[in-house]
Structure formats: structure tokens, C-alpha cells
Homo-oligomer: A and B are copies of this chain.
Amino acid sequence: MIDFEIPAEVGALCGRIGEFVRDVAIPAEARDDGEHGLDDGLRRDLQAAARGAGVFAPQLARELGGQGLDMRGTTLALEAAGYGLLGPPALNCAAPDEGNMHLLDAVADPDQRERYLLPLAAGEVRSCFAMTEPSPGAGSDPSLLRSRAVRGDGGWVIDGQKWFITGAEGAAFAICMATTEEGATMFLVDADNPGWRIERLVDATDRVFAGGHAEVALEECRVGPEAVLGEVGKGFEYAQVRLAPARLTHCSRWLGAARRAHDFALERAAERPAFGGALADLGMVQERIARSEIDLATSRLLNWHCAWTLDQGGSGRAESSLAKAHVAEACWRVVDRSVQICGALGVSGDGPLARLMNEMRPFRIYDGPTETHLWAIARRAVRRRVGAGR
């Protein structure tokens, strides 16, 4: 039965997250001055505060120390968390750790679970996901994967170059994708492996991700057979297991950030005098506000629909692709309009918008640029209508 009622306990949790973000996470942004991502000390302080507020890890099962929400609850909670840039790391539901936890929870064997998932869930360590490579390697087109793993010494030897690996600096381990004779495979690589070397940090417009983004060299990186995550040759399959929910949580967090930008612009528009009234009385400003309202409403509904599909046991591939393509563009438009409404204030550090713009822009690219999703959506649509022949 079509229903948009939010269960009371989920609503209450989101309310607490909202308060935490307002009272703790947003004020902490002033302390977040790392050039390459969130400082680890600040991250730990915030996580302790989140635990104290009873809002830690909304997306994780209770036995992993989380709040036990399903995907519908998770999308709501992560939207609330995303209202502050430091909300997601504070609640241990930020990328890439959140997606990695989801993947490990689905695929890891008991030993891997103990060794990697539990400390990650507890926020004791951070992790990274090492798939993207410098051109001409894997990017939007993962089939270009060039990092290779060959069997040796009873384990594996991995060689390759990785680029834009979010959170690599400071991570305890990586989930690393490499090709083998049996196909793409995921390996758990400890950060202290001598064959895993962070070569440099890559500047990016965002700086909210703990550890920033790094270029990493894998040189004769030797791992044991127990380092294989799941089965050999199933790397792309697992990437899909990770991807659909990871896209949704991305969409949820950034929707929160877009709401914040919009709220800031609404307040400014209501108070800023211009041309005999307030900005909010001008038709062009009203049009921008209204279009942002529509963008936010449609984004939220796509998120909910995707979450519901996942909760029904669906793969969510189609729904998360649709959500990602729309939400990333819509949230960007919201931030852009908010900047424009606020004028010079919008591009200055006197408000949050300049930073939000820089944090939000890559969202249209990370986890598949919009165009890649549009392509996938179109092919599905044609197949749905015309049949398997295509």
C-alpha cells in the first residue's frame, strides 16, 4: 500500500540527529581546517559525541553497534546527518567507510569480519576502496582495470597504480580491485603492507573526506590467500553489491547538504532588502526557491523509492542509478541557486555556501558520473520496452 508515513521511532532518531548536527557537527566545522580532509582527532571527538547522543551509525545493525535501521530509515537518517558536513563522519556513516562496511557485512568471511568489519564499525579505524586508476585505467569504465594480481608464494602479488583513492591516507586497510586470470577480484590490503605505498595526496575541491584523496602505488604487494574478499573473479559482482546502497547513501547525505544550502538561502532571501522589499519578494528569486523545492522533493522521493526497493530484497541497481543521476544534479542545482540568491555572500566564506559548492560538485562525478548513469538508464528503458532482443 503506497504510504509515506515515517515510523515514529525513525522520526525521533532523525530528530536527535538533527539536533546533534545543529548543536555539535555544524559548530565543529570551524575546527575542520585540514587541507586534505577531516582531521582524525576531530573525527574521533565527534564520533564519541555521536555515541553519547545515541545517534552513532544509524545504518548498522545493533550487533555492530548501530541503530539497526532498514534502508528507508537509513536514507532518512543519513539525510539528517548530511545537513552538516561533519555529520556523516561523526555518525560513522560517511563514504567510503559506510559502503565498505556494507560490502564486508555482505561478503566477508568470519575472520575478515572480525579483523576488518568490527573495528571499522566501531570507528576505531578507517578504510578505503581502491578501484579508480589514472588514465588510461579504470574510471567511469571499470573494464579498463589495469592493476593485476597474480598467484605467487601461496598468495597473491598485486601491481598497479591507483588514483583518487578517498581516505587512503590514514586508512588501516584497503579493499583493492585488481584483475586476475579468473577476472576482477577484491583484495583486503593492510595499509602497512610494504607493497602498498601512498605516493601523494591529490587536491580536490572537497575536503570533508577524512584522509582526502591519494595516489597509491601497488608494487609487488604480497597478500595471503585470506586477503581475497569473497571469491576470486567476482570483483565486479561485489562492486555492484556495494554500489547500489552506496549510491543511495551518497544521495541521502548530499540531499541533507542541499537542504542546508537552501535553508541558508531562504533565510537570507527573507531578510535581505532589495528593490523595495526583500529578496524573497522578487519573482526571479521566487522561481529559484521554488525550483529548489521541487528538486529537493523529487530527490527525496527517489531516495525513498530506492530504499524501499532495497528493503524488499531488490538489487536496487536501476533505482539507485536513477536516484544518483537525478539527485546529484538536483542537489547541485539547489546549491548553485542558493549561491546565486545570496550574491557575494554566496561565494564568500562568511556563509557555508562557498564550501558546500566545493564539497557538492564532485558528487556529480563520484560513484559514476551522471552521464554513465544516464547511459545505463536509457539502455534499461529500451530493453524494458523492446525486449531482450536488445
Is A198 an interface residue, CB under 8 A from the partner?
Answer: no
Task: Give the segment of A44-52, A120-128, A201-209, A232-240 that binds chain B.
Answer: A201-209
Task: Give the segment of A19-27, A110-118, A274-282 that binds chain B.
Answer: A274-282
- A282 / chain B contacts, CB cutoff of 8 Å: 283, 371
Per the CB 8 Å criterion, the residue count for chain A at the interface is 90
A266/B326 contact (C-beta < 8 A), A132-B344, A348-B204, A361-B339 known: no
- B340 contacts A371, C-beta separation under 8 Å: yes
- A68 / chain B contacts, CB cutoff of 8 Å: none
Is A2 an interface residue, CB under 8 A from the partner?
Answer: yes
- Identify which of residues 159-208 in chain A touch chain B, using a CB-to-CB cut-off of 8 Å: 163-164, 202-206
A7 to B2, CA, bound (A): 8
A279 to B297, CA, bound (A): 29
- A287 contacts B378, C-beta separation under 8 Å: yes
Nearest-CB distance from A356 to chain B (Å)? 11
Is A12 an interface residue, CB under 8 A from the partner?
Answer: no
Report how many copies the assembly holds.
4
Nearest-CB distance from A283 to chain B (Å)? 2
A361/B357 contact (C-beta < 8 A), A289-B377, A294-B326, A347-B206 known: yes
Is A226 an interface residue, CB under 8 A from the partner?
Answer: no
A2/B386 contact (C-beta < 8 A), A348-B164, A349-B204 known: no
Q: Residue on B with the closest CB to A382?
A: B280
- B305 contacts A301, C-beta separation under 8 Å: yes
- B301 contacts A266, C-beta separation under 8 Å: no
Q: Residue on B with the closest CB to A4?
A: B308
Starting from the known contacts A2-B72, A283-B284, 17 additional A-B residue pairs (CB-CB under 8 Å) come to A2-B6, A3-B3, A4-B304, A4-B309, A139-B344, A141-B273, A202-B348, A203-B354, A270-B386, A271-B386, A284-B371, A284-B374, A286-B374, A287-B371, A290-B374, A293-B381, A339-B365
Which 6 residue pairs across A and B have the least CB separation, nearest first? A283-B283, A203-B349, A286-B378, A290-B374, A301-B301, A298-B298
